[in-house]
Amino acid sequence: MILLDRVSKTYSKGGKPSLDRISLHVEPKEFVILVGQSGAGKTTLMRLLTREEKQTSGKIIVGGIDYDKLKDKEIPLLRRKIGVVFQDFKLLPNKSVFENVAFALEMVGSSNNEIKNTIPKVLDIVNLVGKEGSMPMELSGGERQRVAIARAIVRQPKILIADEPTGNLDPKHAWDVIKILEKINRFGTTVLLTTHNQDIVNKLKRRVVTVKEGKIVSDRAHAGYKI
């Protein structure tokens, strides 16, 4: 599903690489946690996967798509296969829960009928039935993050990237979000989670990939993690 072979990324000529010849293989339907200190290279890796940045060297293949052969006009199609959730939600403040999620479908030309049929099912997955008409400011932080997750999965991506999705949440709401990610993974979506939360990493007992100074220094199944 995700293959990186000796991938490097350097932002300035002669500068220190943000990623230094990293190799990583993530199987379909896997749940992988990416950990490391700020500046370790986690965000750069995410930006390469969504093709917001191009690697300086090495090979990236995601969902059978070779990024070396990817044309600019094909990037929107790639991004439909990859859902992304951020720490700061990125919701549209003047749109309701329903409208925020619908926006992702409107952007790809879905019909009104398809939108009406799809969104209730997605809101059920993230436990937000009954909140369709609520505005973002009327929701808790955890609820807002679940709206963001609903928007990220409404197009049924093969991969979900969750970049510090619990960073702004208290422990209870953080675990609500993690449980939703686990549910989505059980439905068959590959999940790549970055987090600084040591408690979440240790309790999930999933595969943990540790990045340090642009290199993968550890890749262990069912591993814990110490900051």
Asked if residues 36 and 208 have their Cβ atoms less than 8 Å apart, the reply is no
Tally the domains of the chain.
1
Residue 113 within a domain: yes
Asked if residues 181 and 33 have their Cβ atoms less than 8 Å apart, the reply is no
Give the Cα-Cα-Cα angle 181, 185, 188 (nearest 5 degrees).
150
Give the pLDDT score at 225: 56
Residue 213 within a domain: yes
Helix (H) or strand (E) holding 209: strand 207-212
Residue 104 within a domain: yes
Asked if residues 99 and 147 have their Cβ atoms less than 8 Å apart, the reply is no
For the whole prediction, is pTM greater than 0.85? yes
CATH code, domain carrying 68: 3.40.50.300
Q: Could you tell me the residue range of the domain that residue 182 belongs to?
A: 27-220
Residue 129 within a domain: yes
Handedness of CA 54, 55, 58, 64 (dihedral sign): negative
Backbone φ and ψ of 169, nearest 5°: -115, 150
Helix (H) or strand (E) holding 83: strand 82-85
Tokens describing residue 75 = 């990037």
CA pair distance 227, 99, nearest whole angstrom? 39
CA pair distance 167, 171, nearest whole angstrom? 10
Give the pLDDT score at 223: 58
Residue 107 within a domain: yes
Residue 77 within a domain: yes
Residue 4 within a domain: no
Give the pLDDT score at 143: 94
Mean pLDDT (10-residue bins), the chain, 227 residues: 95 89 96 91 92 95 92 87 87 96 92 95 95 95 94 93 90 92 95 91 92 94 61
Residue 163 within a domain: yes
Give the pLDDT score at 79: 84
From first CA to last CA, the distance across the chain in angstroms is 28
